[in-house]
Structure 1
Amino acid sequence: MKEALANCNSCLNENCFIKKHLHLEQMKSYIEKKHSFICKKAHQFIIEGAPIQGLYFIYKGKVKTVKTGINGREQIVRFTKEGDTVGFRGFGTSKRYLIGAYALEDTVLCNFSNEIMLEILHTVPEFTFDLMLFYADELNKSENNIRKIAHMNVRERVIDTLLYIHRKFGQTNGMIDLELSRKEIADFAGTTEEQVTRMISSLKKEALIKTVGKKIGLLAIPKLQSEIIEHKYI
């Protein structure tokens, strides 16, 4: 990890919690106390079970968060990008991180320590209220995903994952702006690398997707959506 300059005042991430509240006079002193750094691709900056060191806000880059599942296998629980918050699971209720986090590309991160975050929560009511709504929304998403995955077959899980990363990161030149291995797709979809490889091959033969190396492009989004519409994708 290397030190990096990430200026909150010139930040373009309008959905970042810190950026959203910069108009408040109380926030001005807190942004001067943050720590920012570069985390290189594939490096881990949060270790599951390690003592909580505050919250991370992505200034630039992409991150995956993971949780250890059955037989010690890491399950990907979330993908995040510029403006997203990382490390909030367990914050305020636990002394240790409930997830791990890795940079999917060279990523600039802003970190606010436990002490600073708790001070913000005690002194900036608008920030605290918005964070409460964020937690409620994340809980609702998690519950919906659990119910959805429980009723999906392998093909539907893979399609749902591809549509999710497409919505999250978009496409450039016909390819999703996130390079994932087949194992990473499997770890998010809750299946095996072998099954993901077979499903991707099948979807390619049906001209629903295309691949270039690890990158995947969606060619027929409405058709893919129609396959999982009964699970309330729309």
Structure 2
Amino acid sequence: MSENVNDFTSLYRYFQDPESLKLFTTEELNALESENKVIELNKGDYILEEGHASNGVYLVTHGTAKLFKVGFTGKEQIIRFLKKGDLIGYRSILSGQPFGATATALEPMTLEFIPERFFLKMLQHNSKMSFEMLKMISKQLGDAADTITILAQKTVRERLAEILIMLEETLGIDDEGYIRISLRREEMANLIGTATESAIRLISEFKTDELIEVKGRKIKILEHQRIRKLGHVDA
């Protein structure tokens, strides 16, 4: 099995591996085949909502979503973006708590749904899968710590530079070189922890300095080395 700590797809393959599936009874296998399903979503559709109970996990096989919480003022705080290979809902299942955030599709998406009881049984009885899961969770905890450091110790200009690099590395680029996501200026401001007006001004400054190219809501990094230096991001 693959051990890519950035991609949960390897975990889903255990549910397609005949050797791994031997731990299930015939009745369980029939139920798994019946309940395991492919879900198609449109832009804006909810994958999960904060406060709701979980009944399984969702593997992203196509598309992008945003994971966010809503503060007491009603303002969204984006936690991270979800892409192909990401697993959604496992923290709720493992902790026995409701979803701690909301996830909505940013474009048409395809998800693979695995019911809770089958996911937990495989995790409990398959040590290889459990170890891979631990590695992936550890990677996400490290990413969360990095995000806290960015917001706490860097200037807004430095944060924008690092966020642009992070978005490109996480989501990739299209055929024209633009980052594969279309964000409103309010969402970009949310990501870098500043007011919308400040985000608009900074993006305009980056464009004037020929660090980036902007087309509508899409951004292309033109000067990667300068952006990395500005954001104190290692190459």
**What's the TM-score, normalizing by structure 1?**
0.86
Structure 1: distance between partners of 2:18 and 2:136: 19
Instruction: Give 1:144's aligned amino acid.
Output: D
Structure 2: distance between partners of 1:31 and 1:57: 15
Matched, 1:224 2:209: no
Structure 1 position 62, deviation (Å): 0.7
Aligned to 2:9: 16
Contact 2:43–2:105 under 8 Å retained in 1: yes
Deviates more, 1:173-182 or 1:200-209: 173-182
Structure 1: distance between partners of 2:165 and 2:80: 14
Matched, 1:85 2:79: no
Give the one of 144, 148, 169 matched to 1:142: 144
Secondary structure, aligned partner of 1:176: coil
Aligned to 1:9: none
Secondary structure, aligned partner of 2:73: helix
Structure 1 position 164, deviation (Å): 0.8
Secondary structure, aligned partner of 1:37: strand
Aligned-CA RMSD value: 2.2
Structure 1 position 206, deviation (Å): 0.3
Structure 1 position 117, deviation (Å): 1.3
Aligned to 2:193: 190
Aligned to 2:100: 98
Structure 1 position 137, deviation (Å): 1.6
Matched, 1:26 2:20: yes
Contact 1:89–1:99 under 8 Å retained in 2: no
Secondary structure, aligned partner of 2:55: coil
Unmatched 5+ stretches in structure 1: 1-13
> Does the C-alpha gap of structure 1 residues 190 and 31 become closer, same or farther in structure 2, counting only changes over 3 Å?
farther
Structure 1 position 174, deviation (Å): 2.4
Structure 1 position 70, deviation (Å): 5.0
Structure 1: distance between partners of 2:225 and 2:141: 28
Deviations 1:110-145 (A, max 9, x none): 111221211111222211111112112211221122
Secondary structure, aligned partner of 1:216: strand
Contact 2:150–2:159 under 8 Å retained in 1: no
**What's the TM-score, normalizing by structure 2?**
0.85
Structure 2: distance between partners of 1:154 and 1:70: 24
Aligned to 2:210: 207
Structure 1: distance between partners of 2:144 and 2:18: 31
Deviates more, 1:55-64 or 1:69-78: 69-78
> Does the C-alpha gap of structure 1 residues 114 and 211 become closer, same or farther in structure 2, counting only changes over 3 Å?
same
Instruction: Give 1:17's aligned amino acid.
Output: S
Structure 1 position 19, deviation (Å): 4.2
**Equivalent residues, number:** 220
Contact 1:16–1:84 under 8 Å retained in 2: yes
Contact 2:160–2:231 under 8 Å retained in 1: no
